[in-house]
Amino acid sequence: MGFRRRQLVTAALTANAVRPLPGFRTGIPAFFAGWLSGELAPHLLAATAADSLAHLTRARGGRRDPLGLALAGLSTAGLGFLIAQSRRSQEIAEGALSEALGHDYQDVLDAPPTPADLAVPWRSLVNPFRNTAADVVVERDIAYNDHGKRGFLDVYRPAAGAEGAPVLLQVHGGGWTIGNKDQQGLPLMRHLAAKGWVCVAINYRLAPRDAFPAHIVDVKQAIAWIRRHIAAYGGDPTYLAITGGSAGGHLCSLAALTADDPTWQPGFEDADTSVQCAVPHYGVYDFAGASGLRSAELMRDRFLAPRVLKRSFRDDPAEFKAASPLLRITPSAPDFFVLHGSHDSLVDVRQARQFVERLKETSEQSVVYAELPGAQHAFDVFPSIRSAHIVRAIDRYLHWHWNTWRAGLDHEAELSEESQNPA
């Protein structure tokens, strides 16, 4: 492939990342192209600069390609814009936390973030696909139900050991039809485990072989397993946060909003399946088309109905409504930190906006919403400028929540002691 053709491809990828192709049918290719180009913008910028320099070096005899160089210049400008957008994620996420939790929320943290904590970790981003941590131990393929490998989970914990540590449950995405526990959420889990948390990543049954609600039943079984067994791995069984992206964002939100619902707890109806907070990323919140969004209706009729629920909305609207986190919000909803990209080509960001709006109207707990400018679907799958900022923002949120929750328990214990021993 010649210089001009390479720069034409780079320019097209960059343009799609800056402004993704619209439309339901173009959603998947627009996502893949925009996601990789956006999150790997520094690497693509370096490659463009190197390619242009090599072309200029070879073209000393006068065979320069002005059109190819012009395309490289446009790509450079676009990639610089994408990098600047990614760097703004720190400001956006911190602003969302401060607005929802109070500007003094950092006072609850073990220590306020330092400038280094808020800076871009450039060195660790050179090879974004190398995601290891020497101070984290992973115990793999632990059965939490009897569905074979789809009922396995992994436990990430500090190599130095843990006792009474807060617990995070990670639910992978993949359109309810593909995906595995060791493919997503790795930057966040390794980061938290290195700081003393115990993290659990699960598989669950997949459609179309197993239609919904098999997925949410498995998530609830995993929660019940954690409540019973996580103390043996150093976790606190009374505190559980849940997170996930895309289909995992849907499942973690739905699980958080339907705690102890016996409909989805066959054979373990009395198990505690509540969570203390939820952190969904680019989730699907509307299975029923209740948002009125045409994009949600198309997803419902062309994908969810034939592939995931394996029934039509016309024949069983109640099942689609029951599966919609948007319609399951009650005053007892736990705390939420919702994240979504403004350029998501697979799940309309307006679903997240409506979900957050209804949470704020109904829930008695805190609701944080960070809408990330220029972010595509799956922006956190591997380390990048954006995902590094978001991992650390979630770190601050979860530590705020854990410390606040523990302080609340201590306060309740003091009140109980005072009531039993009046002056």
- What average pLDDT does range 116-129 have in this prediction? 88
CA distance 384 to 41: 9
Q: What mean pLDDT do residues 239-247 have?
A: 98
pLDDT per position as a tens digit, 327-336: 999 999 999 9
pLDDT tens digits, 314-323: 999 999 999 9
Q: How far apart are CA 241 and CA 249, in angstroms?
A: 13
User: What value, to the nearest 5°, has the Cα angle with vertex 223 and ends 221 and 228?
Assistant: 95
Q: Strands 165-171 and 136-143, how do they pair? A: unpaired
Residue recorded with tokens 């053709």: 5
How far apart are alpha carbons 240 and 128 in whole angstroms? Answer: 29
Residues designated catalytic = 246, 344, 377
Q: Which pLDDT belongs to residue 208?
A: 97
Q: What is the pLDDT of residues 360-390, one digit of tens each?
A: 999 999 999 999 999 999 999 999 999 999 9
CB atoms under 10 Å from CB of 283, counted, come to 27
pLDDT recorded at residue 161: 93
Contact indicator for 367, 354 with CB cutoff of 8 Å: no
pLDDT average, residue stretch 23-33:
92
pLDDT bracket for residue 134 (50, 70, 90) = confident
Could you report the per-residue pLDDT of 275-334, keeping only the tens digit for each? 999 999 999 999 999 999 999 999 999 999 999 999 999 999 999 999 999 999 999 999
pTM of the model: 0.95
What local confidence, expressed as pLDDT, does residue 422 receive? 67
Q: Which of the four pLDDT bands, split at 50, 70 and 90, describes residue 412? A: low
Does the pLDDT of residue 260 top 80, yes or no? yes
- Tokens 């990330």 belong to residue: 372
Compute the average pLDDT of residues 174-187. Answer: 97
Question: What's the CA gap between 301 and 59, in Å, rounded?
Answer: 55
Report the share of the chain in percent with pLDDT over 90: 88
Helix H or strand E encompassing 35: helix 27-39
> Residue 409: its pLDDT value, please?
81
